[in-house]
Structure 1
Amino acid sequence: MKTFDHLTVVGLREWVALPDLGVAGLRAKIDTGASTSSLHATEIEPFERDGVEWVRFNAHLGTLVQLRHRRCEAPLVAIKTIKSSNGHTQVRYVIRTDLALGDHVWQVEFTLACRKSMRYRLLLGSKALVDGQLVVNPGQKYVQDKPVFPVTTTSSKGAA
């Protein structure tokens, strides 16, 4: 049997932070069936700053019971057409930002989408799992410790 000693094990649900956006204590659903990661966002507004396309939005962090949000800004990476699991297509803005999970930090691309009917405000897709060198144990939840905020680990920006 092959083993993968260089990979980090995560469960189906994990606590994450988005330090560049000032977001901590966010529960993420790990979804190997989704290619792209997604963040619950509303009031999405594209704008230009110093000749670069950016987007500002409300990132929703709480649950349906305990609502909270944060106004965020990030450079716009792309605009993608995403096909959901139910077959619907939607045009979404894409950002790239640091994601902290346990003591590991790396760059992840997120589509901004309304996920208000979803239990988890952040979905971590397979591209992020590959880039973060993660392997999922589907029988576990919250394997990694909550990221310390502000994140004090060394970021692996630029590494992929």
Structure 2
Amino acid sequence: MRHPYAALVLLLCSFAGLVGSANARGVYGWVEFVELYLDGQQFNLKAKLDTGARSSSLDATDITPFERDGQHWVRFRVNRSGLQEAPLMEQPVARYVRIKRHSGPYDHRPVIRLPLCLGDELRTIDVNLTDRGRFIYPLLLGRKALARLAVVDPARTFIREPACTPGATGE
């Protein structure tokens, strides 16, 4: 015969594991400040942490693919509110992604890899470039970027300020 408290003990152990996992990764609000590091520049942006989105997107304009030494590259400007015109950036394209739009055909977007600081975690993540001018937040962090990095509390915002050391690698 099974012990009457066995199920309760298993439940409590599972809950303790989840809490430990959440503490290891850090709890964040559904909107947080992040730092991005591109072409020797630091960008401080508001990011929406969206576990419903698979991939991450960065607000960019003047997106122009080109080739350099037989490799795919992209030239773009990172949109930041309050700036007249952001400088042109150039990054190698990691790949292209096909994004299903709510209305109309699929959108093909270049994906770049960039260092991102969320709280005290510095990671290199993949982001696709697109004009997010109609959205409130210039950066959308999807679940692939958030996996093993963050637990999102949908009732809170701006829980942790970025506190990373630029130049350190985060994988």
Above 0.5 in TM-score? yes
* Residue 36 of structure 1 pairs with residue 55 of structure 2: yes
CA RMSD of aligned residues (A): 1.8
TM-score by length of structure 1 reads 0.84
> Which of the two has greater helix per residue?
2
Distance in structure 2 (CA, Å) of the matches to 1:107 and 1:87: 31
Change in CA separation of 1:153 and 1:46 when aligned onto 2, cut-off 3 Å: closer
The answer for the alignment partner of 1:129 in structure 2 is: 146
The answer for the alignment partner of 1:12 in structure 2 is: 30
In the alignment of these two chains, the number of paired residues is: 150
Distance in structure 2 (CA, Å) of the matches to 1:115 and 1:23: 19
Unmatched segments (≥5 aa) in structure 1: none
> Which of the two has greater strand per residue?
1
Identity of aligned residues (%): 36
* Residue 102 of structure 1 pairs with residue 96 of structure 2: no
TM-score by length of structure 2 reads 0.79
Distance in structure 1 (CA, Å) of the matches to 2:78 and 2:161: 22
Change in CA separation of 1:153 and 1:44 when aligned onto 2, cut-off 3 Å: closer
Conserved in 1, the CA contact under 8 Å of 2:71 and 2:92?
yes
Larger radius of gyration: 2
Unmatched segments (≥5 aa) in structure 2: 1-14
Conserved in 1, the CA contact under 8 Å of 2:37 and 2:166?
no
The answer for the alignment partner of 1:59 in structure 2 is: 78
Change in CA separation of 1:70 and 1:32 when aligned onto 2, cut-off 3 Å: farther
